[in-house]
Amino acid sequence: MTGLLSTASRALEEMVDSTADWAVELLRRTAAEMSHALDRDAMRDVEGAEEWRDVKSKENRYAG
């Protein structure tokens, strides 16, 4: 292609590439944030669970 159509085609390709790069980065960042949130919530749930509150330390548990 030559002329204006060729220029428009290249511009469209660049726009598609940059949009795809942006979308991939956004998906990766969102996945990382979700993973950290799940880990944080699981840790909070386990540490805050009723049965874990009264567990004695290992040293006191086996003291004689």
Query: 29 in the Ramachandran plot: left (φ > 0), alpha (ψ -120 to 50) or beta?
Result: alpha
pLDDT digits (tens, 9 = 90+) for 2-43: 677 778 899 999 999 999 999 999 999 999 999 999 888 888
Could you tell me the sign of the dihedral formed by the alpha carbons of 41, 42, 45, 46, in that order? Answer: negative
Distance CA 32, CA 46 (A): 21
Distance CA 31, CA 18 (A): 20
Q: Which residue has the tokens 């040293």?
A: 59
Distance CA 35, CA 17 (A): 27
pLDDT at position 45:
77
pTM over cut 0.75: no
